[in-house]
Amino acid sequence: MTALRPEHDAGYGASYEQREAYEEPGAFEAAVDGLADPLNDPLPGQGAAPPPVPAPVSPTAPVAPTVPTAPTQPSSPGPWAAAGDGISVPPPSAEREWSGYGPYPHAAEAPAAYGQDWSAQVAPEPVPVPPPVPAPASVPAPASVPAPRPDPGPPYVPVRDDATAAAGGAEEATALLPTISGTGPDPVARSEPPTGGRAERRKAAKGGRGRGRTRPQGAGGPAGAPEPSTPARPLSRVEARQAARALKDSPGVILSRAVGEIFISLGVLMLLFVTYQLWWTNIQADLYAGKEKDKIQQGWAEGRQPGAFEPGQGFAIMHIPKLDVVVPIAEGIDKAKVLDRGMVGHYAEGRLKTAMPSDKQGNFAVAGHRNTHGEPFRYINRLEPGDKIIVETQDAYFTYDMASILPQTAPSNTGVIGPVPPGSGFSEPGRYITLTTCTPEFTSTYRMIVWGKMVEERPRDKGKPDALVG
């Protein structure tokens, strides 16, 4: 029940019982329907407020039941009317106060439901929703089709004037270059939320992924794919010094490297020395021996008379047809002047002096290298008894038959070059020849001895011996 206003208590108008009834049928209902909210009633002198525009209703939202609004004051003054529910209606002159500050100034602009008694509203009954009908088991559910990836369109290039570029716009333009050129990351792909663990999401939020690291499984790409690179942080001065110090070699490394270089150098030198000894000395000795042989033959052609020969002077030529040896014979066994020059030396000094081929009796003993420096006696161990050894001089050819060989003896055994050498098989003086050389090969530890006996002396005017002709 609504209490009467003070104006009513003060004797405004007559009571409900004293009022006269409406003359026409339905006048009371029309009067009640014409009442508006006291707060929305127009002020005196104003027209009636325009009807409110209803808000759009969503087709899916539940429809609330219509709540009857409270009776409003009629626009024109008149007698009081008593509602059937006992609600008192104030007279038109009695303006409802708004919180004690006068009439509501914006009553015409208030919403349609303003001023209603919301406590009297009844909650709407829930509308029953039918349960969803399950799809038949035989019909497969449609496969989810991924949404098409939107086309990012051409990259955005900001337009910058000269002043903005001078103020620092170059850095922004440089940052946009990878995207503009098409080498940078895809802007659509960057907008996708990162997946993976917490660390991967933090990296994606910071936007820093270095070159060389691989993308883990489930991190926005296939496992093992390289990630984009970021510029390396410049080293500080202390870090640069530590890095430079780490690059320096330790003393042990330097020493081992020096020792290795020394050994390598020595190995190269030894290889060169061996090559010189085994190959180059033979070339040099053959050249010198060839020149000396030509010199001897030229002297014979000029008719020089033989006499006392000087040490190192060539005077004869030795032929060993089986070994294909043709070598000059010089006076003496000096190593530097005779033997190392590829010639055969005649024992002709001191107590080692031996006979000449032209002597009627004696042992003509010579020496030669077995290895290096021409190596004229390299294969004398292959000689067999009866093989020819020929000594050519200015006047005649002296032919010897190989008689025996001593494979090894000490260098101090000088008896092998005596007039009747022991172990040679000769028992009496005669005209003999003795060849001496070092053994084993490439050493000078022992001596190898080959003996021969003269079988023919042939003057030069009678021609060469049969062994040289054949």
Q: What is the dihedral of CA 409, 415, 420, 425, to 10 degrees?
A: -20
- Region for 312 from its dihedrals, namely left if φ exceeds 0, alpha if ψ lies in -120 to 50, beta otherwise: left
Predicted confidence (pLDDT) per residue in 434-458, tens digit: 999 999 999 999 999 999 999 999 9
Q: Which residues are designated catalytic? A: 369, 438, 447
Is the model's pLDDT at 324 over the cut of 70?
yes
Across 74-83, 158-167, 274-283, least confident range: 74-83
- Mean pLDDT (the chain) is 73
Q: pLDDT per residue over 21-30, tens digit each? A: 445 667 667 6
Q: Does the model's pTM come out above 0.85?
A: no
Q: Which residues pair with 367 in a beta bridge?
A: 345, 436
Q: How far is CA 325 from the centre of its chain?
A: 64
* pLDDT value at 171 more than 60: no
> How many CA atoms lie within 13 Å of 435's alpha carbon, on the beta-carbon side?
32
pLDDT attached to residue 207? 60
Cα separation, 453 vs 385, whole angstroms = 10
Q: What CATH number was assigned to the domain covering residues 284-469?
A: 2.40.260.10
Higher pLDDT, 132 or 154: 132
Residue type, 311: P
Q: What is the CA radius of gyration of the chain?
A: 69
pLDDT digits (tens, 9 = 90+) for 90-104: 444 444 444 444 555
Q: Tell me whether the omega of the peptide bond preceding residue 440 falls within 30 degrees of 0, making it cis.
A: yes
Pair of tokens at residue 431: 């005209």
Which residues does 254 contact at the CB level (< 8 Å), separation at least 6?
none
For residue 430, what is the DSSP state?
-
- Across residues 152-181, what is the average pLDDT? 48
Percent of the chain with pLDDT over 90: 41
Domain boundaries, the chain: 1-46+65-119, 284-469
Give the integer Cα–Cα distance in Å for 290 and 294. 6
What integer pLDDT is reported at residue 127 of this predicted model? 66
Between 174 and 233, the higher pLDDT residue: 233
CA distance 113 to 103: 18
